[in-house]
Structures are given as structure tokens and as C-alpha cells.
Structure 1
Amino acid sequence: MEAVAPSAAGAPAIRCAGQERDYPAFLERAARIATGLCRTGVERGDRIAVVLRNEPSHLEITTAAALLGASAVPVNWHFQHDELRHVLTDSGSKVVFVHTDLLDGVAAVLPDGVPIVEVPLPAGVAAACGIAAPPPTGRYPLLDRWLEGCEPLDRAAGDHPPTVIYSSGTTGRPKGVLREPVAPDRLDEAVRLFLEYFAVVPGGRTLIPAPLYHASPSQHAVLALAAGLDITLMPRFDAEEFLRLIEAHRIEQVQVVPTMFVRLLRLPKDVRERYDLSSLSSVVHAAAPCPPHIKHAMIDWLGPVLREYYGGSETGAVTWCDSAEWLAHPGTVGRATGSCGVAVLGPGGRPLPTGATGDIYLKPADEWPQFTYLGDPDKRAAMEAPGLPGYVTIGDIGHLDADGYLYLSDRRNDMVISGGVNIYPAEIEGALLALDGVRDVAVFGIPDEEFGEVLAAHLQTEPGVLLSAEAVRAHVGERLAGYKVPRAVVFEERLPRDESGKLFKRLLRDPYWAGRDGVI
């Protein structure tokens, strides 16, 4: 991947927590890293692992790998032990770039013979993450020393290389999604559509607040670089710092997840009104269902600048809707655009009528690369829709309305069957987030001798707020059917989410099912 030359006006740059590179400096350093990779034996088609927090070096290393026709595999730096070992081994990475404070965890599980390049943790990134920046260990080559004598690579691969992104492991072992190489003309079309759907112009200003080890922010960054956007990275999401950066850099476009909306709306009104957000023209969100009352509140605050898409690591964005479409179809995640398609199927692959809930199958855009799973082609084959070539499921359930707009019910793996009735926890979670004093919630099924499963709700409250289980049940019972009222209500100090807001629900659910047949 090569970034387009930015225009002189505005001098787009890449910045994060006190670091800033203009595009010439960024591309020169990426080309030197590419030479360093060649010197280390990395070739076209190989993979390297990037175990770094958000900072410019992350993007430089990713760009360097692409210049060679190799793939940079962004690794979730929260992974521990077996998860980390699995990704580093399964990816077959030839070199690993690691921040100093993460070295011990990586070194303990890295396959023998794989070289490590140590990347000092920038002070600004450390401060944003609330940790002290440790001194270099001296056990491994430091990035700048590793680059000594490396002239910029003077050649570039033709096609955009295959890419690998790992799931966050919220439902089990992380799986590697391998995307095929992309021809230059298809990459050009992907960049054009990115600019159109994200409502940003070449050289425009974007903010990336989510970790680059996730598929959406990673793809966002790749396309933003290819479009020559001015890019501001956040080392970690902080609601008020998010607003400050928008004002300071006159950010025009940002991509977020609904959890960030919740945290922004929790800010005191005077704090939210302290910052000038008038530069914003596009706030894109995806990755999880957004409770309707949260989205209404965000549109009331920011105006009709919200845009939503739905898809997965495997498919890219398939459906889109802007604020006006969503207000006309509350709760939708949009409808298929361009060459994309959506189908809702029942048992045996039978197409379901409008309004009927079933398994969602998606047809990616023509310019989106084909994919498989590293080491698991059978899993890829199992995703195919019977009788609908090119359509795959990523495990969600929902329905289409008469206008072709899609509505999500829940993940199939999260659906609870209680006494033969299908229950979708996302609906209950949305109701509980509207309860004063509730900051976060997870609803899931737990074993029950009579009904097979009943509902449990684990909640995190605002500091100083005391709620009773009875109040929680009464709130749900006043809004939803009685069988959707949680049987068990547990209050947690904090729910297990990662930096982007993804919830590791299995960590809460698995203990209830431990020792039962077919479950851990």
C-alpha cells in the first residue's frame, strides 16, 4: 500500500500523543523499515506481527510490510499466554515488533527462532494509558538501531498484499481471517468508496480512537493512508480527550463504537458543551448494535452527522444508513449498497418473508477481497448460504423490512432459548442501559433445570449508585415481556471489555456452564 501524495495545503500528517510525522517523513521511514525487513529475510507473502499500542510506528510498520508484499498482523496486546501464543504461532510471523512494556509476555510464548524488534513505548502514549514508560530492556534490537544503514526501499510490490486480522476472542480462540491480495485498481475503487461512504475528502482530517488490532480501525487506517488523510490516533479512548482532539485538530470524520457514545453521553453537560465540535461532518459507527435511545441522544447532540454500517472482518461493510434513513427506520443498521447483498434465511436455507427473523447472510462488495480462515477452511465453507453463491453468515440474527432495511436481533451464539422461546439479550441490554445509574450491562443465558436456560444480567453501575436486583427486574418488566426479565442479577465493579468496547461475555458466562456436557 502506498499513500497518495498529500496536497501542500493543510500538510496532512499522522500524529498521536505528542508524536507527529508529515507524509514525506512517514513514507521515508516506512520504506527504511521495509529494507530492514528484507535484510531480516522477510519476503513477499510472509507475515510479521505487530504487538504495539496505537502510535505512528504501528502504521509505519504496516505500510513497510505492504511495500514488500508481506502482511502485518496486528495483535491484540491484551492477549495473554495461550491466546498470544496461538496468534503468534498460527500466523507464522517471521518477525515481531513489540513495545517495551509488552516484551515479557511475547517472549514467553514466541516460537523459537523468531526475531524480536523492540519499540520503545513513547512517553505520551504511556501517559495516555496511565502507565510509566519503561526504559529499553537492551535484550533485543531497538527499532532505530535496527534501522541503522537501511536506505529506503526503492521498489514496491504490485498488488496490495493479503492481509490477516484476528478476532478478539470474545467467543473462543481468536481466528485469523486471511484476505486475498487486492489488485491496484480494486484498491483505488475501495478508497473511492471509503471517501464516499465515510463522507470525507482527500486530505481531510480523521480521528481513530479505537485500537488498531481490531478490523474496523485497522481497515480505516489503511484506507485513510491511501487517501492521504490527516490522521490523529488515540492511544486509548477517553471521552473528554476525544472531544478535545476534535476541537484542537478540527476533525471532520471519526469512526467509533456504540460504547463510546455511552461514555460521551455520561459526561456532564457543561463538559460536553465546552468543546467546539462544529468541524464534524461524519461520525461513523459500527461493530455492535447501538441502543436506539443512545443514537437518538447522539443525533440530538451532534446533528444528522451519524452514519452507520454493518458487516464483519470477513465481509467489510455491507449495509449503510445515514441519520435521516435511521430516523425514518429506527433501529436499522442500513440496507445493502452498491454490489452488496443481504438475505435472511430460515431452516434449510429457506428465504424468509419480510419481517421474519432468521439467519443473516451477506454478500460482500465486488471490490472486497475473498477470504478464508488460517488453518480452518472447513469453517469458511460452513459459512456459505445454501443456494446463494457469494453469501456468507457471520453469525447474526435479524430481519428485513419492506424497504430492504436490516435490523439485528442478536448473535446466534448469544441467543437464549428458555422454555422453547427465543430470547435476544441485546434487546434487554438496551432496556437496562436506559435505567438511571447503569453504566454497562451484559445479559446471557445460564443453565436451568426446568427451562433449559434463564437470563442473567451482570451490571456495572455509575460510581456511588446503589441499585437493587428488584429495581432492575422491575425496570425490565415494565418495558418488556415477563419472560425477558433476568432471573439472576449480579453487580460487577467492571465488566470485561477491551479498549474498543468489545465485551468478553464468555468470561462472565462460562463459569455458570463449567462442567456441563459440551461446555468447557
Structure 2
Amino acid sequence: MTGKSELPATFGAALAHHARERPAQVALRHGDHVTDYATLDAHASQIANGLRALGLTKGDRIAYVGKNSDQAVELALGVARAGMVFVPVIWRLAPAEVDAILEDAAPGALFVEPAFAARAVAPEHVVAMGDDFAAWRDAQPDTMPDVAVDERDVVLQLYTSGTTGKPKGVMLTHANGIRSRANQIAAGVEWLLAEPGDAAILAMPYGHIGGVGVAFGAVNSGQELIVHAEYDAAQVIATVAEHRVKRLFLVPAAIGLLLAHPDAADADFSSILTLSYGASPIPLPLLQQAVERIGCGFVQVYGMTETWGSVVALPPEDHLPGREAKMTAAGKALPGVELRIQDEEGRVLPPGTIGEVAIRSPNNMAGYWARPEETARTLSADNWLRTGDAGLLDEEGYLFIQDRIKDMIITGAENVYPAEVESAIYSHPAVADVAVIGVPDPKWGEAVKAVVVLHAGAEADAAAIIAHARTRIAGFKCPKTVDFIAALPRNPSGKILRRALREPFWAGHERRVN
């Protein structure tokens, strides 16, 4: 195992290190296309030099719209080597949502798959992925670009919806993503650590930290990254068996789809040492089914985009029979991470008391792009990050998530804020008032539900409301069901009482997250 002092401080340096140590080892595998580490390193330098030839400089934003691909991974590493900031956009978003992100990020260049090329907002430089991208890349020199990149430099800007529905750019540095491995090696937390040459699968959407973050992490570890354009249970099952994948990350909804697939019955999962899962809570029966069928060590991870993903983990030993009381926990703080539970004023609460979960770690974001006030509300001067999750710490330091202080809904590991869904629905001419809540769903964890009040004399059914929303926001944000009532419950100041709307659907559940 590599010592902490020897580990590179930036992703560009990590790629160069592995290109020297294992030049012929497979770095990327996408369909029939295979790229070794020496070639990936050369491509990253070519891309960095190409961006500089466009007149772009350190700190400029470079956007990508498309699915997972080997070229998308090369692009991220080239941007990192150039000291620029990679902005991958979730391809499932509605066109207007993509354009809002591009307008906010103001990228110096946009790289886009042809299927997503029609944009109302586009920078001066637009490059189509595929043959055009390869030709542009290969016309550049593969010499190391003359730019100094520091671990404190921002390398990644991922967009999350805000409570007002406006997207926020989470700025993440090289250090945010690269230090965790060093800390885990130093602490001997080997159940999350991959070795050089181990195969990893990139199947989660690229615009999430569980997508592009996996790509960066694989290069940091010197792994072989097998890229799937999008999640397909049959493809994951086949890849695990063919390439003897040792460590796998899936969101709970993806685990459910995998176990339900006909190929899972006879699948060979014997190579898997650990399966990490996170991004949304997992129902205990699904977890127990997965443990029994896959038969590997399971690791629950908890974090958020603002912490470059995982900062808390529930290790394999807490997934064994007799540990059921801990299987509903998010886990314990990973090395280098501090946790506390605090009240609204930031005062620390004692063990067993429910409050807001706060995190301090090297993973904490640099802030929100061009939003200093929102940054100040989320990140304190001494680097404590408010998560918006309600939880408690027990006497042993296990974190249990109880509810969400903020109204965010997590459906299939996608974050949905009621405000943006309500805005889309409210523009329907028949709608007088609307509230959006998350309700339990056996497949997706939570499902989006709209509670609608119609104008007097107006008519609209659930199908019409949902169809209207689909013209304005991404499909995963649209309500799956719609209830119609005479009036929404509100407090004396007029605020919607979402908890009162949610309560009938969550009765009988220990937690108000699923």
C-alpha cells in the first residue's frame, strides 16, 4: 500500500504518477475501446494544451453535457491538468434547466454529445464529442502544460438545486477529493480502499459526485475504470463477472433493480469484496436481501455533494447478523472527519439528541459559486458544514439520520426540491395553490407527490398536471401522483405545513426518510 507521504496532491499529478508506474495498465475501458495509463496521461495533456490554445486560462469553467464515456473521463482529467474547473451537467435535466446551469457557470468552452447539442445558451467554443473531439484533441501537443496547479484549486463544480429552485454550483478542490485516500491508508481503513489495477465500474450519472467522483477516484487509485454510458443492471452483472470487479458502488434504487433482474439469480458475484451504497437511505429488507444474495462485505456511505461524497461509513462488520440495531445507522465518521449534532444556533447537542448534522473535514467544499450568502449560511468560518439533515449521534459515535430539516426529496438518489416542482405546476392555469412532498416508495425510496388546489370552477386531472410539469422540469422531478384538496394547511404566517401533509404517508415509519 502506498504511503501517505508519497501520494500526489492533485489529480493531474496522480495520473502522471500512475502513467510512470504502470504505463501499459488499462486505465479506461468503454465498450471495445481500451486506453492504457500512458495514453490517458498523454490525452490529458493534449486536452489541457487544447484548452489553453483556445485562449482559456487557469480557473476557467469547462462544461460537459452528455452521458458517461471514456472521452468524458479524459476531458475531466485534461481540465484538471490545465488548472481549470470541470462542470459536468446532468443530461437528464430539462433543456431549460441545462441552460440555466450554463448561464450561471458561464463556461469558456462546452463539450457536448451530439444528442444534447441544441442549446439556447452556449459559449464561444463548442466541441462535439466523438470524432470531432478526438480530432481536436489529437491536433494538440502531449507535452505537460506550463501551469501550476495546487491542491487548493477548484477542480470540479457540480450543480444542486437550491431551496428556491435555482441551481447552485458546488465548488470542490483537488484536496477535497484526493485527501480521503491518504487519510484512510494512514488509519488502515482498507474496506474502502482499492489497489492499483483493481477494476471499477462507472455507471452512475456523470453530473453527480457518485459519477464523476468515481472517475476521479479511480485515477487517484490507479484502477481500471470500466465506463457504462448509463446504469443497466444486466451490464453491471456481466461486467462484474467478466472483469472480476472487487469493489462496487451503487445507490439503493440501483441495488433493487440489480436484484430484481432475471440475470441476478445465477450471477457470479464472487469477486466482489465490498459493495458500497449511499446517496439515499436504504430500506432494511432490501439491504438484508442484498447481503444474502451478493454475499460480500457491505459498506453504507453518507455524505453530500458539498463533502465530495462519503464522509461517514457503516463498515462490513455492522452488516452482520446480530448488528441489526446498527444497520439503520449511516455509520461513523471516516478518518479526518468530525461530526456533531447542533441546534439552530449552532450549539452542540449531547448524544441521543436529535438536531442538525454538521460536518468538518478536508472534504468540505470551497463554497457555492458566486453565492457568498448561501455559502455563509452553510459553511461556518471554522469549516463546519450544515447538512440540513436531522439526526443523532449515539454514545458510540454512530450517526442515525432521522429526517430532513430542509424539504428536499431524495428519489432514486436524485435530489428534488419542492420549490422548483411547485413553480412548474403552479404555472398551469387551473392551479390555485400547490405543495410538493416526498412519500415512501418501495422502488425509489421516496416518490414526488403534488397536493393541488384548483381555482374555483377549473378542471384538471393528475395526468394533465404531470404532463404540464414535464414540459418545464426533468422527468425525475415531476410528481408521480397528484392529490386534490380544498385548501393547503398553513401556519398563521402563511407557511405551508408540509409535515402535516407528509404525516399520513409516513405513519408507521421509524424515520421520515426512506
Q: Give the TM-score of the pair, scaled to structure 1.
A: 0.73
For 1:199, give the aligned amino acid.
L
The residue number in structure 1 matching 2:404 is: 411
Could you tell me whether the CA contact under 8 Å between 1:414 and 1:444 is conserved in 2? no
CA distance in 1, matches of 2:108, 2:445: 40
Could you tell me whether the CA contact under 8 Å between 1:83 and 1:173 is conserved in 2? no
Query: Compared with structure 1, are the counterparts of its residues 340 and 188 closer, same or farther at alpha carbon in structure 2 (3 Å cutoff)?
Result: closer
For 1:442, give the aligned amino acid.
A
Could you tell me whether the CA contact under 8 Å between 2:358 and 2:384 is conserved in 1? yes
The residue number in structure 1 matching 2:503 is: none
Query: Compared with structure 1, are the counterparts of its residues 350 and 195 closer, same or farther at alpha carbon in structure 2 (3 Å cutoff)?
Result: closer
The residue number in structure 1 matching 2:143 is: 153
Among candidates 206, 209, 212, match of residue 212 of structure 1? 206
The residue number in structure 1 matching 2:345 is: 348
Among candidates 13, 22, 44, match of residue 58 of structure 2? 44
The residue number in structure 1 matching 2:273 is: 281
* Secondary structure class of the residue paired with 2:345: helix
CA distance in 1, matches of 2:178, 2:29: 29
Query: Compared with structure 1, are the counterparts of its residues 68 and 358 closer, same or farther at alpha carbon in structure 2 (3 Å cutoff)?
Result: same
Among candidates 18, 25, 34, match of residue 5 of structure 1? 18
The residue number in structure 2 matching 1:376 is: 371
Computed over aligned residues only, the root mean square deviation of the Cα atoms, in angstroms, reads: 3.8
1:110 to 2:122 alignment:
yes
Could you tell me whether the CA contact under 8 Å between 1:170 and 1:504 is conserved in 2? no
Query: Compared with structure 1, are the counterparts of its residues 186 and 354 closer, same or farther at alpha carbon in structure 2 (3 Å cutoff)?
Result: closer
Among candidates 104, 119, 127, match of residue 90 of structure 1? 104
User: Structure 1: which 5+ residue stretches go unaligned?
Assistant: 121-135, 137-141, 417-424, 449-487
Deviation per CA, 1:447-504, whole angstroms, max 9, x where unpaired?
79xxxxxxxxxxxxxxxxxxxxxxxxxxxxxxxxxxxxxxx9xxx99x99xxxx9953
Offset of residue 74 of structure 1 = 0.8
CA distance in 2, matches of 1:405, 1:169: 29
The residue number in structure 2 matching 1:143 is: 133
Among candidates 150, 155, 158, match of residue 163 of structure 1? 155
CA distance in 1, matches of 2:178, 2:67: 31
CA distance in 1, matches of 2:312, 2:259: 26
Could you tell me whether the CA contact under 8 Å between 2:367 and 2:379 is conserved in 1? no
Query: Compared with structure 1, are the counterparts of its residues 184 and 350 closer, same or farther at alpha carbon in structure 2 (3 Å cutoff)?
Result: closer
Offset of residue 298 of structure 1 = 0.9
Could you tell me whether the CA contact under 8 Å between 2:111 and 2:128 is conserved in 1? yes
For 1:354, give the aligned amino acid.
P
Could you tell me whether the CA contact under 8 Å between 1:166 and 1:177 is conserved in 2? yes
For 1:362, give the aligned amino acid.
I
Offset of residue 185 of structure 1 = 8.8
Query: Compared with structure 1, are the counterparts of its residues 110 and 190 closer, same or farther at alpha carbon in structure 2 (3 Å cutoff)?
Result: farther
Could you tell me whether the CA contact under 8 Å between 1:16 and 1:234 is conserved in 2? yes
User: Structure 2: which 5+ residue stretches go unaligned?
Assistant: 1-10, 410-436, 454-461, 497-514
Could you tell me whether the CA contact under 8 Å between 1:15 and 1:55 is conserved in 2? no
* Secondary structure class of the residue paired with 2:68: coil
The residue number in structure 2 matching 1:293 is: 285
Query: Compared with structure 1, are the counterparts of its residues 197 and 149 closer, same or farther at alpha carbon in structure 2 (3 Å cutoff)?
Result: same
Offset of residue 215 of structure 1 = 1.3
1:398 to 2:406 alignment:
no
For 2:128, give the aligned amino acid.
E
Could you tell me whether the CA contact under 8 Å between 1:318 and 1:336 is conserved in 2? yes
Query: Compared with structure 1, are the counterparts of its residues 349 and 150 closer, same or farther at alpha carbon in structure 2 (3 Å cutoff)?
Result: closer
The residue number in structure 2 matching 1:231 is: 225
Query: Compared with structure 1, are the counterparts of its residues 511 and 259 closer, same or farther at alpha carbon in structure 2 (3 Å cutoff)?
Result: farther
Could you tell me whether the CA contact under 8 Å between 2:101 and 2:159 is conserved in 1? no
1:241 to 2:235 alignment:
yes
Could you tell me whether the CA contact under 8 Å between 1:159 and 1:184 is conserved in 2? no
Could you tell me whether the CA contact under 8 Å between 1:341 and 1:362 is conserved in 2? yes
1:119 to 2:129 alignment:
yes
Q: Give the TM-score of the pair, scaled to structure 2.
A: 0.74
CA distance in 2, matches of 1:190, 1:164: 21
For 1:360, give the aligned amino acid.
V
For 2:447, give the aligned amino acid.
A
Offset of residue 8 of structure 1 = 5.2
Query: Compared with structure 1, are the counterparts of its residues 231 and 400 closer, same or farther at alpha carbon in structure 2 (3 Å cutoff)?
Result: same
CA distance in 2, matches of 1:309, 1:5: 27
* Secondary structure class of the residue paired with 1:44: coil
The residue number in structure 2 matching 1:462 is: none
Larger mean Cα displacement after TM superposition, 89-98 or 308-317? 308-317
Query: Compared with structure 1, are the counterparts of its residues 307 and 77 closer, same or farther at alpha carbon in structure 2 (3 Å cutoff)?
Result: same
1:198 to 2:192 alignment:
yes
Could you tell me whether the CA contact under 8 Å between 1:358 and 1:397 is conserved in 2? yes
The residue number in structure 2 matching 1:363 is: 360
The residue number in structure 1 matching 2:250 is: 256
Among candidates 281, 301, 313, match of residue 309 of structure 1? 301
Among candidates 442, 447, 456, match of residue 442 of structure 1? 447
Could you tell me whether the CA contact under 8 Å between 1:165 and 1:215 is conserved in 2? no
For 1:34, give the aligned amino acid.
A
Offset of residue 164 of structure 1 = 3.2
The residue number in structure 2 matching 1:458 is: none
For 1:115, give the aligned amino acid.
H
Deviation per CA, 1:303-336, whole angstroms, max 9, x where unpaired?
2411111111112322111132244212011011
CA distance in 1, matches of 2:210, 2:337: 18
CA distance in 2, matches of 1:252, 1:48: 33
For 1:153, give the aligned amino acid.
T
* Secondary structure class of the residue paired with 2:400: strand
* Secondary structure class of the residue paired with 1:110: coil
Could you tell me whether the CA contact under 8 Å between 1:165 and 1:313 is conserved in 2? no
Could you tell me whether the CA contact under 8 Å between 2:246 and 2:274 is conserved in 1? yes
Could you tell me whether the CA contact under 8 Å between 2:283 and 2:445 is conserved in 1? no
Query: Compared with structure 1, are the counterparts of its residues 323 and 149 closer, same or farther at alpha carbon in structure 2 (3 Å cutoff)?
Result: closer
